[in-house]
Chain A
Amino acid sequence: MTSRITADDVVHVARLARLSLTDDEVTTFTDQLAAVLDHAADVEALSIDDVPPMIHPWPLRNVMRPDEVGATLDRDEVLAHAPATEEGQFRVPAILGDEP
């Protein structure tokens, strides 16, 4: 059994998911997520290590297609609805360092 989720855990997963939470939100989400995880204790308590996991309704196989050039999305149409573009590419703020 694991312990119920803590406020520190919520802050950590929010950071991993690129979400910023207020202190009030941390408190609320911690309580709500703990309630859901408490409900999942029925699943957690099962001894079913011998049961194989089911990741998908059907057995998944690689799906191959002929390596032929086909139609793709129009670049200008795709870029037209991006927040910022430059020279036919997506533009983002600085990636390295804390300052632009």
Chain B
Amino acid sequence: MTDWVGRSAADIAAAVRSGEVTARSVVDEHLAVIDAGDGPINAFNLVTADAARQSADAVDATIAAGGDPGPLAGVPVALKDNLCTRGIPTTCSSRILEGWRPPYDATVVQLLASAGAVSVGKTNLDEFAMGSSTENSAFGPTRNPRDPSRVPGGSSGGSAAAVAAGFTPVALGSDTGGSIRQPAALCGVVGLKPTYGLVSRYGLVAFASSLDQIGPFSATVADAALMLGVIAGHDPADSTSIPEPVPSYTESLSAGVAGLRVGVVRELTGEGIAPDVAARVNAAVAALSAAGAEVTEVSVPAVTYGLSAYYLIAPAEASSNLARYDGVRFGLRVDAPTTDAMMTATRTAGFGAEVKRRIMLGTYALSTGYYDAYYGKAQRVRTLIARDFAAAYDTVDVLVSPTSPTTAFAFGAKADPLSMYLNDVCTIPSNLAGHPAISVPFGTGDDAMPVGVQLMAPALAETTLLSAAAVLEAASGVAS
């Protein structure tokens, strides 16, 4: 009985609201599929089946009493395990937080529940969201549902895999340098990184605070719009949250691209991009053109410095944010005679190699004598990137590039840290600028693995981004 597995969140919510199916029945179907299928995939760190059934029953009770549970009524969702859930373990896939139960819910978790969504569990990630393959998890890697010998991408690999495997129609991830868009591309689902500040980060465990943003995974563009409408909006608990009203993202979805000015980013479509990925991006651009968009090639020169700037700025912010894991207030403590020794023993035992690498890199980039050469210079480059984007958006409405230079790679294929970091070259610029970007599946590469096409837009232009994405989605089934 899997009548509702594989259906969109929009369909499920409509059916639950109309009484066609109960939320309990929908969640039971999804829990059964997770139970049967997640062993080899390992998308979930924790499945909260009992809590999910209780939430679903509450949704059904609301409907029985004549109420409306909300736009995500009865929709099963998966949450990246760096989103705080009250009383439910939140590990960031790190030993240092193993067993910790947050005393509060992230704002997005509250918003989903208020909209009638049913959380089914916490998904795997690269430890503290640092990675592009989900191989850095303390609880073992997640495997790509399209080919279990390959990585799902990362860091939100568990959420991407959960949606790709049909475990949930939608999921939440976080994106600091591509951690939603890249796994979405590698798993063949839609992944949206909203404008910085559009979605509250309250309760998202911080990695790099000037870059982190929460966003949705979904099988369809319409579900991405539906999810964004629920989680977007000002939150007094996040001082970086934008105090602007939220438009309807679903109403404008069918606006089309007639007359839309689309720019292909020269610096992100040439050298370093696999030929089969480049071919799919070309096909996507042709599809946008065929749908009425005015396509040109544009140059955003400073994005070529994005990778270097990011791998100085993000580790610098991380080295500060992760200072809080010291064995005093939460999580792991390794006993030692003095507090200083206890902190060192705890952090040494609790953090994995990639987290240590980034903490040290960030500490170095911020240290006396190197601050100006590395961190200071990277911040100036960030200005250059923002300026070059602004100049590009004087002439176009949307930018196009690949999401990732290649399709999903094999486990262990990028053991050298720098080669792993190079995966993020196309996604990082939008984080540095604070702009929204979305990855839309557009066919497959020579290896039959999914290819994602990235659309980028200026701050708060999500409506344009989503309507262009909807055109790509419609064309992806017919263009080849």
**Are both chains from one complex?**
yes
Q: Which residues of A contact B (CB under 8 A)?
A: 1-2, 5, 9-10, 12-14, 16-21, 29, 32-33, 35-37, 39-44, 46, 48-49, 51-58, 60, 63, 65, 73-74, 77-78, 80-84, 90, 92-95, 97-100
B82, chain A: closest CB distance, angstroms? 17
Mostly, the B contact residues are helix
Assuming the contacts A92-B342, A93-B338, asked whether A44 and B373 have C-beta atoms less than 8 A apart, the reply is: yes
A contact residues around B433 at 8 Å (CB) = 57
**Complex contact B364–A100 (CB within 8 A):** no
**Complex contact A93–B335 (CB within 8 A):** yes
Per the 8 Å Cβ criterion, residues 343-400 of B in contact with A are: 343-345, 347-348, 351, 356-357, 359-361, 363-364, 367, 369-370, 373-374, 376-384, 386
Nearest chain B residue, comparing its CB with the CB of A83: B333
**Complex contact A55–B239 (CB within 8 A):** no
Q: State the CA gap A58–B309 with chains docked (Å).
A: 18
Assuming the contacts A18-B343, A42-B305, asked whether A32 and B417 have C-beta atoms less than 8 A apart, the reply is: yes
B contact residues around A93 at 8 Å (CB) = 335-339, 341-342
A contact residues around B327 at 8 Å (CB) = 83
**Complex contact A94–B338 (CB within 8 A):** yes
B388, chain A: closest CB distance, angstroms? 12
A61, chain B: closest CB distance, angstroms? 9
**Complex contact B330–A81 (CB within 8 A):** yes
**Complex contact B347–A17 (CB within 8 A):** yes
B contact residues around A35 at 8 Å (CB) = 416-418
Q: In this assembly, does B326 line the interface, its C-beta being within 8 Å of a C-beta of chain A?
A: yes
**Complex contact A48–B417 (CB within 8 A):** no
Tell me which of B236, B364, B374 has the highest count of chain A C-beta atoms within 10 A of its own C-beta. B364
Which one of B99-107, B220-228, B288-296 contacts A?
A: B99-107
B contact residues around A5 at 8 Å (CB) = 364
**Complex contact A19–B344 (CB within 8 A):** yes
Q: In this assembly, does B139 line the interface, its C-beta being within 8 Å of a C-beta of chain A?
A: no
Tell me which of B100, B101, B197, B340 has the highest count of chain A C-beta atoms within 10 A of its own C-beta. B340
Tell me which of B326, B332, B417 has the highest count of chain A C-beta atoms within 10 A of its own C-beta. B417
Q: State the CA gap A35–B376 with chains docked (Å).
A: 20
Contact with A along B172-202 (1 / 0, CB 8 A): 0000000000000000000000001100000
B454, chain A: closest CB distance, angstroms? 18
Assuming the contacts A13-B364, A52-B380, A57-B210, asked whether A18 and B337 have C-beta atoms less than 8 A apart, the reply is: no
Q: In this assembly, does B331 line the interface, its C-beta being within 8 Å of a C-beta of chain A?
A: yes
Assuming the contacts A33-B361, A48-B380, asked whether A73 and B103 have C-beta atoms less than 8 A apart, the reply is: yes
**Complex contact A57–B357 (CB within 8 A):** no
B354, chain A: closest CB distance, angstroms? 10
Q: In this assembly, does B434 line the interface, its C-beta being within 8 Å of a C-beta of chain A?
A: yes
Q: In the complex, which range does the number of interface residues on chain B fall in?
A: 35 or more
Q: State the CA gap A58–B244 with chains docked (Å).
A: 14
B contact residues around A84 at 8 Å (CB) = 333
Cβ-neighbour of B347 out of A19, A41, A56, A73 (below 8 A) = A19
Cβ-neighbour of B210 out of A48, A51, A55, A95 (below 8 A) = A55
Cβ-neighbour of A16 out of B308, B363, B373, B384 (below 8 A) = B363
Q: In this assembly, does B282 line the interface, its C-beta being within 8 Å of a C-beta of chain A?
A: no
**Complex contact B339–A95 (CB within 8 A):** yes
Cβ-neighbour of A90 out of B242, B305, B329 (below 8 A) = B329
Nearest chain B residue, comparing its CB with the CB of A45: B377
Q: State the CA gap A46–B377 with chains docked (Å).
A: 8
B contact residues around A18 at 8 Å (CB) = 326, 340, 343-344, 347
A contact residues around B103 at 8 Å (CB) = 73-74, 77-78, 81
A94, chain B: closest CB distance, angstroms? 5
**Complex contact B104–A73 (CB within 8 A):** yes
Assuming the contacts A16-B363, A83-B333, A93-B342, asked whether A46 and B319 have C-beta atoms less than 8 A apart, the reply is: no
Q: Which 3 A-B pairs have the closest CB atoms?
A: A57-B434, A83-B333, A53-B379
Assuming the contacts A51-B383, A83-B328, asked whether A36 and B361 have C-beta atoms less than 8 A apart, the reply is: yes
Q: State the CA gap A86–B414 with chains docked (Å).
A: 46
**Complex contact A20–B308 (CB within 8 A):** no
**Complex contact A43–B356 (CB within 8 A):** no
A contact residues around B370 at 8 Å (CB) = 2
B contact residues around A42 at 8 Å (CB) = 304-305, 308
**Complex contact A48–B381 (CB within 8 A):** yes
Cβ-neighbour of A13 out of B331, B343, B367, B376 (below 8 A) = B367
Assuming the contacts A43-B377, A46-B305, A48-B384, asked whether A82 and B329 have C-beta atoms less than 8 A apart, the reply is: yes
